[in-house]
Homo-oligomer: A and B are copies of this chain.
Amino acid sequence: MEEQAAQASKGRRPSGRDAKRAARTARSHNFVPYITRKIPYYEVLSQEGLELLEHNADTILQEIGIDFREDPESLELFKAAGADVQGERVRFPRGMCRSLVAATAPREFIQYARNPARSVLIGGNNTVFAPAYGSPFIRNLDEGRRYARIEDFRNFVKLAYTANSLHHSGGTICEPVDLPVNKRHFDMVYSHIKYSDKPFMGSVTQPERARDTVEMAKILFGADATDPTTGRPRTVVISLINANSPMTFDATMLGALKEYARANQATIVTPFILAGAMSPVTIAGTVAQTLAEALAGMTLTQLINPGAPVVLGSFASSLSMQSGAPTFGTPEPALVLYAMAALARRLGVPFRSGGGLCGSKIPDAQAAFESANTLLPTCLAGVNFVLHTAGWLEGGLAMGYEKFVMDADQAGMMHTLLAGVDLSDNGQALDAIREVGPGKHFLGCAHTQANFENAFYRSPLADNNSYEQWEAEGATDMAKRANTLWKKQLAEYEAPPLDPAIDEALLDFIARRKASFADSNI
């Protein structure tokens, strides 16, 4: 992984002028499996401020406690570990969760991809970009907004595979509502495996769906599913476990969490918070509560399987007083994000938050302002696993085709930002300044010639032509150009090779499992 990490800072996206060439290049040169940052973190709070919020989180865990609903096993585990359990309410002695998590949860871990060159290192100085997650609708310029189908799901897996700036295939990119609720996880996981070779996420909507995910991963990885040195299962799936904020975990999420933790698969324990509804309206209150909830959930993973990879997640939005709807890209969630990232570092665990979040229904200026105001803090704060990097519209209700490629472009820019300032002799460029001198220009000088090709990030979607040329070419907005780009990318998509025997075994497993119980939309 060290070599991959070393490459990360050199990441550049191609111009998009020739997607076919770019795709080939991607696989050989430009693709980095994840980013290793070379710029400092941005911190909004002092260490004293962070200690205060940790203290408050401990107060919440000790005084108020967390409810674990309909899950006697979890209650037993907490009790045995020293917690005070009254009914479904669990109160934790001050510091208990922190020390249990810090003792055994890994600071960083590898999630293996079926293509080893695409395995990701989650945690530390690294950033992994994954697509948006969970939308029932899709939107594009041609059809507007409609319910998502499995074909859309496959399209987004293909687009995520094509995007050099995205490192992960994601999970429930959109809900394939044309398939029965109790069987669609087979098709989703299969799509990730078949149409991409990047790492992917598992199903969490029922414990048995988590088990199906683990089974399919075992078929895919075969002997590679086990670490030959430790004999432990390798982490090949990462899954999203949301707390039912405030201060509650429900049986469904707990069931999935336990399945994955037992199988040594990674979980992201994420309090899902609309501040003002699920938490106080203040930043400091929201942060302390988020930390308390996440600590409780992460502790459970370590009680189930000490050492199981677990990520501290934070999803915080604020509530619109006018409409009661969540708002995105406003300053308050960014401040929560900066604080939570610092707290995760202090705890010594990987952190998930942020992405390209927005409340806008369409890929307009609102969507872009809000997304940029989320993605830039995401990167400066040091988020390790960025869910919702690309495609998010309408507070997560819709997955946008145009928005997806726009966000992937922005993620590409973040590769360049996170690479920081080159202070080598070539970066200092004093000889170029000597060569050119006052009143001349640098366009033709030797240093420019040698460096221009990779000097600046080049967006495939930004129009920087003259006004006259832009007008002659149809006076397009970015959304229109994005519409052209995603269609081109889908048309030129080529699937990564998959061993036919594995493919057959997977299809056989799915067919048998699907036949073993009736369709249902619950």
Contacts and interface: CB of A to CB of B under 8 A. Distances in A.
Interface of A: 15, 17, 39-40, 42-45, 49, 52, 56, 59-60, 63-67, 89, 145, 244, 246-248, 275-285, 287-289, 318-323, 325-327, 329-332, 334-335, 339, 359-373, 376-377, 380, 394, 397, 406, 410, 413-414, 416-417, 420-423, 426-430, 432-434, 436-443, 447-448, 451-453, 455-459, 461-467, 469-470, 475, 477-479
Contacts of A145: 467
A364 B475 CA distance: 12
Given A281-B455, A281-B456, A331-B413, A433 B60 contact: yes
Contacts of A363: 365
Contact of A434 (B64, B442, B462): B64
A237 to B, nearest CB: 29
B276 A442 contact: yes
B63 A420 contact: no
A371 B369 contact: yes
B376 A280 contact: no
Given A56-B428, A63-B434, A49 B366 contact: no
A327 B409 CA distance: 15
A356 to B, nearest CB: 10
A246 B438 contact: yes
**Interface-central residue, A362, A365, A394, A478, by most chain B CB under 10 Å:** A365
Contact of A44 (B281, B421, B470): B421
Given A42-B380, A283-B427, A360 B463 contact: yes
A67 B417 CA distance: 34
21 contacts: A45-B421, A64-B437, A65-B438, A246-B436, A246-B441, A248-B439, A278-B442, A280-B442, A281-B452, A281-B456, A284-B423, A288-B428, A321-B452, A322-B464, A323-B469, A325-B464, A329-B462, A335-B420, A364-B478, A369-B371, A372-B376
A444 B60 CA distance: 20
